[in-house]
Amino acid sequence: MPQMSPIGWLSLFIIFSITFILFSMMNYYLTIPKSPKSKILSKNLIKSMNWKW
């Protein structure tokens, strides 16, 4: 099995690093955060469930 030159290892490292960074960025920016409106709605629903004597 032939050995790889240092330039080959460097190019492999750069390619894998770029793909890892791109994958991480896509994963971070494609997630949709929950809106704070849902928290307000849930608080109102919980308050409306209380018994009024």
Q: From first to last of its 53 residues, what are the pLDDT tens digits of the chain? A: 567 788 889 999 999 999 999 999 999 898 777 766 655 555 555 555 556 66
pLDDT computed for residue 35 by the predictor: 67
Whole-prediction pTM = 0.53
C-alpha 39/C-alpha 3 separation (Å) is 59
Tell me what pLDDT residue 39 has: 55
Task: Give me the residue label for tokens 């080959």.
Answer: 8
pLDDT at 3: 78
CA distance 11 to 8: 5
